[in-house]
Amino acid sequence: MTFAMLRASFTSLNSVQQWGFGSVSPAHATQLMHANVQPHVLDMRMIESVNNSIRHLSPTEIRSKMKRRSLRRVSIKPSSGVANDMHSGSDWDKAEFVLEELRRQCDTPADLLYRLVEDMVEEMKAGLAKEGGSKDYKMILTYVDKLPSGKERGHFYALDLGGTNFRVLRVSFGQDGSTPVFQEVSIPQEIMLGQHEELFDYIAGKLAEFVSKEDSSYHPRPGCKRELGFTFSFPIKQTSIDSGELIKWTKGFAVEGTAGKDVVQALNEAMERRGLDMVVTALVNDTVGTLAVASLAASKADAGDEVMISVILGTGTNACYVESIDAIPKWKGPKPSSGNMIISMEWGGFSSSLLPRTQYDEALDAVSVNPGEQIFEKLLSGMYLGDIVRRVLLRLAEEAALFGPSVPPNLLIPCILGTPHVSCMHQDKSSDLQEVGRILSNVLGIHETSLELRKLVVEVCSIIAKRAARLAGAGIVGILRKIGRDRSKHDGSSSHRTVVAMDGGLYEHYPLFRAEMKAAVVELLGSEVAENVLIELSKDGSGIGAALLAAAHSKYSRYGW
Ligand code: ADP
Ligand code: MG
C-alpha cells in the first residue's frame, strides 16, 4: 500500500476524526504503515474508541460534543499554496505527528476519568483510616469542626503564605462596609530557597512594617495582642487549631530546616524577636479559609445551600471538604458537636498510574525540587502549565524546526513561559491571533510568526489546559462520590444543593479552563445530579477566611462561633 492510498483512506475517516476522540496524521500513518497496521484494523479501533468515549452520553450531549470538538479542531498544516516563508525548513508532518501524539497522550475520556475517580475514593478512605494510610493523600485533620456563624466581631489579621507572594491583611468584622486592608509582598528567591529562621524573620519584618502604619484605633487593648490567622498552604500535620508541623515544602519552596517543625511556633518566635505584639490564633490551610468564607456567604444568603468542598487552583492545588467524623477512623479525639471535621486532602499528591502523563511531564518532574512527588499538582496547577507548554514547543523546535533552522534560545529557559501566558494565548480571540504573536515575540523571542504557527501554539495550550481542567473536574467528582453527593436525591441523600467553593489565580483568570472543568463535572455526574452542584468562585478565603478563623478562635474576644 502506498502512502497516497493510506492518506486517502484516512481522509475517508474524516467524520470520525472530527469528533476529536482520536485521529491519525499522515506522519503517524506512515509509522503505522511501517508497523504493518492495516487501515481497516485502524478504522475499527478508532470506532471502538469513539464508542467507549461516548457510551455514557445522552444523544443531546453527543451532539453538543460533536459540535464543540469539530469547531475546535484545527489543521496545523499550511494549506497547499500557502508558503510559510519564515520557516520554509519546517517539517510540518513531524509537527503534526508530535501534536497528534500529545492529543492522544493527554486525552481524558470519561471512562478514564471514572477510573481515576474510583482510585481517588480508595486513596481517600485509606488516608482517613490511619496516618500515612494512603500513598497519595495526607487527609489532614484540620481541627476545624464548625463553620462561621456571622457573629464574629473585631479587628483581626491574616497572613497568607501561599506561593509566589505573601499577603498581610487586616479585616474588621461586625462593621458594615469596612473593607479589608491588604499589603502584598513578593518572596525573594533566596528566601524561598534559604534558611528556616530567615524566612520567618523576613515575614515578621513585613508584618511589623504593616502594623507600624496603623493609627492608634487599631492598637490592641492593654494586656491583649493582635491576633493573626496564618494561612500556610503547604502540607502540614496539624496538631491543634494553632499548631502544626510542616511535612514538606512544595511549589518551589525548599527552605532548609523547616520540615518537621511547628510553623506557628516559628512565626510566634520570629514576631517576639521583632518585638511585635501579635500572636497566631489559627493555623489554616487556604482551602479551609475558602470553605469558611463561602460558608459564611451561604449562611447569609440563606438559600439552604451547603458548602461541602473547596478547591484551590493557583500556583499549586489542593482541596478540602467536610467529612463525617464517623468516617475518620484515625480521629482519636472527642466527637465534635457538629459531627464533622474538615479534612485537607493535599490532593496534589495523587499519583495513580492511570494519570495521563507525557514525556514532557516526566522531564519537568525530574528537574523539579520534589521529583516523583505532587504528580497530580504538576499536571494541573499554575506553577507548571506554562512550562509543560514550553517543553512541547521546544520539542517542536528541535525536531520539526518549527521556529526556524535553529532553536530559539528563550525556549530553553525553564519557566520562561508562565501559565498566564498560556491562558492569554489560548483565549486570544483576534482573527490573526495577535496576542499569541506578541507573546511568542516578547517572551520567547520568536518573531514574525505565521498564522498557522500561531494556531499550532494555541492548540498546544488548549490540549494541556484541557487535560488539567478535566483532571481537576475528576478530583471534584471524587470528593462528591466520597460524601455521597454524586447521586440523585432519590436515594435519601441531602436535599440541599452542594456548593464547591473555588479560589486561586488559575481558576479565577482562565475562563476556558473553568468551562472545561465544569463541563467535565457535568459529563461525569450527568446533568440531573450536576444541577444540584454549584461550583462557585469564592474569593479571598486564604485572607479573609483566615482572619475569620482567627476571630473564631480568639483568645481575647468574647465573640466566637
Ligand atoms: P498562590 O497560589 O500563589 O497563593 P494565586 O491563587 O493568586 O496565588 O495564584 C497565582 C497563580 O495563578 C500563578 O502562579 C499563575 O500560575 C496563575 N495565574 C495567574 N494569573 C493567571 C491567568 N491570567 N491565567 C492563568 N493562570 C493565572
Ligand atoms: Mg493562595
Tens-digit pLDDT profile for residues 211-232: 999 998 888 888 899 999 999 9
Residue 501 grid cell: 467553593
Q: List the end-to-end C-alpha distance of the chain, in Å, as a whole number.
A: 76
Q: Cell 482572619 maps to which residue? A: 547
Whether 420 lines ligand 1, by a CB cut-off of 6 Å, is yes
| Residue with more model confidence, 519 or 179 | 519
Cα R_g (the chain), whole angstroms: 26
Longest CA pairwise span in the chain (Å): 90
Residue 56 Cα to ligand 1 middle (Å): 34
Residue 178 Cα to ligand 2 middle (Å): 22
Distance CA 159, CA 230 (A): 5
Annotate 288-305 with b (16+ C-beta within 10 A) or e (fewer): bbbbbbbbbbbbeeeeeb
Give the alpha-carbon dihedral of 525, 528, 531, 535, to 10 degrees: 0
Nearest CA owner, ligand 1 atom 16: 382
Per-residue confidence at 76, pLDDT binned at 50, 70, 90? low
For residue 160, which atom of ligand 1 is closest to its CA? Answer: 4
Q: Residues with beta carbon < 5 A to ion ligand 2?
A: 162, 286, 314, 542
Whether 317 lines ligand 1, by a CB cut-off of 6 Å, is no
Q: What is the pLDDT of residue 387?
A: 98
Mean pLDDT of 432-453: 97
Whether 427 lines ligand 1, by a CB cut-off of 6 Å, is no
Q: What is the pLDDT of residue 174?
A: 79
For residue 381, which atom of ligand 1 is closest to its CA? Answer: 16
Picking from 115-124, 466-475, 488-497, which range would have the lowest pLDDT averaged per residue?
A: 488-497
Q: What is the pLDDT of residue 492?
A: 55
Helices 434-442 and 419-426, interaxial angle, to 10°? 150
- Identify the three-state secondary structure at position 488: coil
For residue 316, which atom of ligand 1 is closest to its CA? Answer: 2
Residue 237 grid cell: 500535620
Handedness of CA 11, 16, 19, 22 (dihedral sign): negative
pLDDT digits (tens, 9 = 90+) for 115-149: 999 999 999 999 999 999 999 999 999 999 877 77
Q: Cell 506557628 maps to which residue? A: 264
Whether 506 lines ligand 1, by a CB cut-off of 6 Å, is yes
Whether 423 lines ligand 1, by a CB cut-off of 6 Å, is yes
Mean pLDDT of 269-293: 94
Residue 504 Cα to ligand 1 middle (Å): 6
DSSP string, 210-266: HHHT--GGGSPPTT--EEEEEEE-S-EEEEETTEEEE----TT---BT-TTSBHHHH
Mean pLDDT of 58-81: 42
Closest CA to 347 of 388, 375, 326, 323: 375
Residue 163 Cα to ligand 2 middle (Å): 7
Distance CA 153, CA 529 (A): 38
The burial of 120, by beta-carbon neighbours within 10 Å (0-12 exposed, 13-18 middle, 19 or more buried), is given as buried
Q: Which of 286, 361, 503, 540 is catalytic?
A: 286
Residue 195 Cα to ligand 1 middle (Å): 26
Whether 287 lines ligand 1, by a CB cut-off of 6 Å, is no
For residue 162, which atom of ligand 1 is closest to its CA? Answer: 4
| Residue with more model confidence, 548 or 392 | 392
Task: List residues bridging with 231 in a β-sheet.
Answer: 160, 284
Whether 349 lines ligand 1, by a CB cut-off of 6 Å, is no
- Identify the three-state secondary structure at position 140: strand
Whether 504 lines ligand 1, by a CB cut-off of 6 Å, is yes
pLDDT digits (tens, 9 = 90+) for 13-66: 222 222 222 233 333 333 333 332 222 222 222 223 333 343 344 434 433 443
Annotate 36-67 with b (16+ C-beta within 10 A) or e (fewer): eeebeebbeebeebbeebbeeeeeebeeebee
For residue 164, which atom of ligand 1 is closest to its CA? Answer: 3
- Identify the three-state secondary structure at position 204: helix
Distance CA 239, CA 237 (A): 6
Whether 314 lines ligand 1, by a CB cut-off of 6 Å, is yes
Residue 384 has pLDDT above 70, yes or no: yes
Residue 352 grid cell: 495513580
Which of 187, 250, 422, 506 has most ligand 1 atoms within 8 Å of CB, for mutation? 506
Distance CA 345, CA 307 (A): 16
- Identify the three-state secondary structure at position 288: helix
| Residue with more model confidence, 303 or 109 | 109
The burial of 321, by beta-carbon neighbours within 10 Å (0-12 exposed, 13-18 middle, 19 or more buried), is given as buried
CA 357 and chain centroid, separation: 16
Distance CA 295, CA 433 (A): 41
Nearest CA owner, ligand 1 atom 21: 420
Can you give the pTM of this predicted structure?
Answer: 0.79
Picking from 80-84, 387-391, 551-555, which range would have the lowest pLDDT averaged per residue?
A: 80-84
Q: Which of 77, 138, 248, 251 is catalytic?
A: 251
| Whole-number percent of the chain with pLDDT over 70 | 81
Per-residue confidence at 69, pLDDT binned at 50, 70, 90? very low
Residue 262 has pLDDT above 80, yes or no: yes
Distance CA 470, CA 117 (A): 12
Residue 558 Cα to ligand 2 middle (Å): 30
Residue 168 grid cell: 498581610
Which of 378, 419, 422 has most ligand 1 atoms within 8 Å of CB, for mutation? 419
Residue 490: DSSP 8-state = G
Q: What is the pLDDT of residue 66?
A: 36
Task: List residues bridging with 306 in a β-sheet.
Answer: 498
- Identify the three-state secondary structure at position 479: helix
251 catalytic? Reply is yes
Pairing of strands 278-284, 226-232: parallel
pLDDT digits (tens, 9 = 90+) for 502-541: 999 999 999 999 999 999 999 999 999 999 999 999 998 8
Mean pLDDT of 93-113: 97
Cα angle 179-181-221, degrees, rounded to a multiple of 5: 95
Q: What is the pLDDT of residue 77?
A: 59
Q: What is the pLDDT of residue 221?
A: 85
Residue 164 Cα to ligand 2 middle (Å): 9
Residue 542 Cα to ligand 2 middle (Å): 6
- Cβ pair 108, 519 in contact under 8 A: no
Q: Which ligand has its closest atom nearest to the C-alpha of 423? A: 1
Distance CA 411, CA 416 (A): 8
Picking from 164-173, 313-322, 383-392, 435-444, which range would have the lowest pLDDT averaged per residue?
A: 164-173
